[in-house]
A and B are shown apart, each in its own frame.
Chain A
Amino acid sequence: MAETLLWVLPLVPTATALAMLTTRDRRILSAIDVSGSAVLAVLAIVLARAVASDGPQAFGVLRVDDLGLVFLLLLVGLTLAVSVYTVGWLEQAVAVGNMKAEFLRSYFFLVHAFVATMVVTVLADNLGVLWIAMEGTTITSAVLVGFHGHHHGLEAAWKYIIVTTIGISFGLFGTVLVYAAAAESAGAGAMSWSAIMQIAPTLDPGIVRIGFIFVMVGYGTKAGLAPMHLWLPDAHSQAPTPVSALLSGILIKCALLGIIRFQTIAAAAAGPEFPATVLLVFGLISIVVATPFILTQHDIKRLLGYHSVEHVGIVALGLGFGGRIGTYGALLHVVNHGVTKALAFFAAGTAIARYDSRDMRVIRGLLGVAPIGATFLMLAALSLAGVPPFSIFVSELMVLRAGIGGGHWVAIAIFLAMVVVIFAGLLHHAGAMVFGEPTAAAGREPEAGFPLLGMVLLAAIMILLGLTIPASLDEPLRRATEIIVG
């Protein structure tokens, strides 16, 4: 039963995508969108229960363990929230002409095709399938990034497809190298992660090291780690807002999962220090590189894009510090950042629609014209900045503690300095947008219901995770940590 679900899960968004092609009516499309995402979420929860009671499930090239499950639950949760948000966002976008009614079905088709490829990446056991699905996410989402079809959108889409395609061809090379190392003893089954893990300690450390570096650069490009992040701010700022939320909330996390899979192999073959050091260096570079761009940014969606670079860096840092606390903190940060960043994009998207501008110097006094949306924007900004009691504070603290426990003083000093600077910068940006006198550009129409519903969903999760980590999430996180730490 549970094994069958593994195959059904990617088919749900595929079927949803195909169903989109049957109609042009916006309401029906939105209804299919929300129900498809809801079915996906329910099935994922059923699968989670099966994993909790019977352990990892495998079927052919797909396999789900607790590590994949954490990412899967984030994926289905955010997809549902995005679908709910899209209902209202689309109504507004069509009304002002940002989205053309005749292209809506291809938009929805692509979104669900994109979700389907991401579901395969988190469920893939075969590392080749992982790569194929990862390239699939690039192809489907590149079209979405340029969906608005104007000059900037197409520029961002081209940069995105070129940089990430070349990036993950490095990932393929790394995969081939690890396969070559494993094929001698494991034979043709050597492409499956679970089979490689059985023999990982016997692999040649030299070739696995080089393979890991290739994978790190490759999937690191897709994850938005600096200095390979060049596509990220452009793509995040030019994509339609729901797509930005998917890119930032889930896609870059899927790439991180790919890195983690290879990290476990490299740790077993070449000792845990080697992959940890590589992750640590990339993490620190990302945090440092993102900081000046966050401070000087005027475009709100680019700001959030650079913020993703910083937070992916924090996850890499947590994995690099390692140990149970660092790894648990990194995984928790994946969930926290995904939820919070999607919320931030939702709130930013409604603010952009209201002022018809992404420039933060134009968006002023949001609290006066849209009090609920402004509150969510402020909540998201506070959480992203790492203010307690929100969830990101908890995971950042864990990463920090792991670093102190490991005696990585230099890394800790850099990390803390950057986090403090970003804290000040982000709150300055958010405060200026939310408070003060509304500018003349501000629309005065009442706030729409569906976008708020999507935000309530995410804000509730965000606040809940800041106060307590429910057992249903804590247990998979703990077991996933054990998988990585070994």
Chain B
Amino acid sequence: MTLETVHTVIDDIGALLLFTMILIVAAGQIYRAIYAVAAQSLLIAIAGAVLATSTGNRDLWVIAGITLAVKAIILPWVLHRVVQRMDVRREVEPVIPISATLVLAVVIVVASFQLSASLGSVRQAITGNALPVGIALTLTGVLVMATRKTALTQMVGLFASENGIFFTAMAVTQGMPLIIEIGVILDVILAALVMTIMVLRVRSTVDADIADLDRLRG
């Protein structure tokens, strides 16, 4: 593949990633948000495979494989099981209307592109538009976490945020050291595990969604 093609492919994947992010923000049901974040992780894995072919960096194959297995399959499956097991009577429960969140998400995307357009020389260090897309995904993930009440939706926001970082990290021309990427993924899995345990524990002890607990103030 020529450099031009790679840039185009990465930009196309970036556009699809932003689309999945909009789906997550717009999701009125927790299932849809989980499917959207799984699709997003799948796209990240594909981006990894494309960059691995074009740069000949074998580490990227490993990272793409781990992303596919862990973030596109296992974690969404776990979330799905938890939703079933908890028999969720409640859905996403936005703090502010979903339409308002969508507007904010658009503002974030535009601002991210503006920001990275001001950085001329970064273009050589990071392939295509991976930097603005990565920043937009990360910030929108935070937005989802801040504007949703239920614990599982907050976790979806967290995964989307991590996806943004991974997309940018993969597209750094030199590639990230493999051991670091694996360590990061391991941390994400452990954090997700601890969070899931906490969610289930609160459900079993006080029969409430953990994010609803709000007695600590001042």
B158 touches A165 (CB 8 A): yes
How many residues of chain A get a CB closer than 8 Å to chain B's CBs? 52
| Inter-subunit contact A165/B174 (CB<8 Å) | no
**CB within 8 Å of A: which B154-168 residues:** 154, 157-158, 161-162, 164-165, 168
Whether B125 contacts A151 by the Cβ 8 Å rule is: no
Which residues of A have CB within 8 Å of B172? 176, 179-180, 183
A158 touches B168 (CB 8 A): no
B44 nearest CB across to chain A (Å): 14
Contact A131 B184, beta carbon cutoff 8 Å: yes
Starting from the known contacts A166-B157, A184-B125, 6 additional A-B residue pairs (CB-CB under 8 Å) come to A128-B184, A142-B194, A149-B205, A152-B215, A166-B158, A183-B174
Chain B hits for A152, CB < 8 A: 215-216
| A35 on interface, CB distance cutoff 8 Å | no
Residue numbers of B with Cβ under 8 A of A are 115, 118-122, 124-126, 134-135, 138, 141-142, 145, 151, 154, 157-158, 161-162, 164-165, 168-169, 172-177, 179-180, 183-184, 186-187, 190-191, 194-195, 198, 201-202, 205-206, 210-211, 213-216, 218
11 pairs from A and B in contact (CB 8 Å cutoff) = A132-B186, A139-B194, A165-B191, A173-B134, A176-B168, A180-B172, A184-B125, A191-B180, A206-B119, A207-B125, A302-B218
Q: Which residues of B contact A180 (CB under 8 A)?
A: 122, 125-126, 168, 172-174
Check A162/B176 contact, CB under 8 A, given A155-B216, A173-B134, A204-B121: no
Chain B residue with the shortest CB-CB distance to A190: B174
Q: For chain A, what secondary structure do more than half of its interface residues adopt (helix, strand, loop), or is it mixed?
A: helix
Check if B138 sits within 8 Å of A184, measured CB to CB: no
**Residues of A at under 8 Å CB distance from B?**
126, 128-129, 131-132, 135-136, 138-139, 142-143, 146, 149, 151-152, 154-159, 161-162, 165-166, 169-170, 172-173, 176-177, 179-181, 183-184, 187-188, 190-191, 204, 206-207, 210, 233-234, 237-238, 293, 296-297, 302
9 nearest A-B residue pairs (beta carbon): A128-B180, A183-B174, A155-B213, A132-B183, A135-B187, A180-B125, A180-B172, A206-B119, A204-B121
Q: Please determine whether A146 and B198 come into contact, CB atoms closer than 8 angstroms.
A: yes
Knowing A183-B173, A206-B121, the reply to whether A155 touches B215 (Cβ < 8 A) is: yes
B218 touching A151, Cβ below 8 Å: no
B120: which A residues are within 8 A, CB to CB?
206
One of A128, A187, A296 near B218 (C-beta < 8 A): A296
User: In whole angstroms, how far apart are the Cα atoms of A134 and B187 in the complex?
Assistant: 10
Query: In the assembly, what is the distance between CA of A131 and CA of B187, in Å?
Result: 10
Given A132-B180, A136-B187, A183-B174: A155 touches B214 (CB 8 Å cut-off): yes
